[in-house]
Structure formats: structure tokens, C-alpha cells
Amino acid sequence: MAIDYGAKRVGIAITDPLCTISQPLLTIKFDSEKLLFKRLKCLIEKNNVGLVLIGYPISLKGDTTKMSAAIRKFAEKLEKIVGVEIKLWDERYTSQYAKHLLKGVKSRKRKEHIDQIAASILLREYLESIT
């Protein structure tokens, strides 16, 4: 499973049992981190997830960003709650690529789709790196 974490929305993508195909799953809008963790735990258990990738923001120069510390803290909390391995994954260009893929699509839920697709791109890149 992959997560594209944002301050208001979290995009989720998942792979098939053979770990060959990445697909967008959903976007979770949240006001409470506690409820977000509860929802993520349910998704992880329901889908028998063994690894969670979390998009890690790195600048074009390869440095950490303002959001990097928040992502690291989120990942540490999630790992304690769900007991599943968590990996941070370079998310450079994933949101821009997702926006490009949805260029011309008119939808009230466009931002939500961008988050899901960005997570799916993360997951696809990871799957390609291990094969």
C-alpha cells in the first residue's frame, strides 16, 4: 500500500496480491489524526497489507523539505499503531505527474483523484524497483 500524505487529504493506492499492478484506491479527507490512523489501520487489516510506502518529500537538490519532518513523525506513529513495516519513498514529481495525467479532466473531486494517483505512482515506482 502507498500513502500520499497531505495536511488535509491522504491519497491511498494498493497493489494486487502478486505485487504487479498499482491502482488508486481512495482519498481520505481528515480533521483528526486519530481518526485518520483508525481508518488506515482498518484499510491495512482489510487488505492484508505487509508494507506501507509513504511519499517522502525531497527537494530537487536532494535535501529534505519543511514537510519531511512531519512525514517522518507521521510514519513513526503509523508504524507503532499498525505494526506493519513502513518505508519512506522519494515522491519527487508524483503530484505533478498525477496532475498531468488528469489534465483536461473536469471534476469537482479532481484534487482527491490527484492524491490517489500520486500514491499509485509511488507504489508503481517501488514495485518496478524491486523487480
Global confidence as pTM? 0.85
Whether 42 and 77 have beta carbons less than 8 Å apart is answered as: no
Tell me the pLDDT tens digit for each residue of 62-98: 888 888 999 999 999 999 999 999 999 987 666 665 5
Beta-bridge partners for 86: 52
Burial of 63 (0-12, 13-18, 19+ CB in 10 A): exposed
Residue 54, pLDDT above cutoff 60:
yes
pLDDT for position 111: 66
Q: Which CATH number fits domain 2-130: 3.30.420.140, 3.40.630.10, 3.30.200.20, 2.30.40.10?
A: 3.30.420.140
Which one is predicted more confidently, 104 or 47?
Answer: 47
One-letter identity of residue 124:
R
pLDDT band at 46 (very low <50, low <70, confident <90, very high): very high
One-letter identity of residue 35:
L
Q: Where are the domains of the chain?
A: 2-130
Between CA 42 and CA 96 the distance in angstroms is 29
